[in-house]
Amino acid sequence: MMQTDREKLSSTESSSRNANEEKAFISSQLFRGKSAILIDHRGELYTLRITQLGKLILTK
């Protein structure tokens, strides 16, 4: 079965959008049961912490 021009364009646009989207990280996979993780960004160390209310706080 052949794709119509509209289907081809739609498929190309969808692929282009997916390539430009940023990857989302699942917090539970990052934290792995811990309440804080360290992030090294350009030689500076940051702490990303989960609060008791379930919010995230990033501190240097």
Residue 49 falls inside a structural domain? yes
Helix (H) / strand (E) containing 31: helix 27-31
Whole-prediction pTM value?
0.63
The residue segments making up the domain with residue 38 are 25-60
27-52 pLDDT per residue, tens: 999 999 999 999 999 999 999 999 99
Please tell me the distance from the alpha carbon of residue 10 to that of residue 5, in angstroms, as a whole number.
9
Residue 13 falls inside a structural domain? no
Residue 31 falls inside a structural domain? yes
Closest to 13 measured CA to CA, from 25, 5, 24: 5
Whether the pLDDT of residue 16 is over 80: the answer is no
Residue 52 falls inside a structural domain? yes
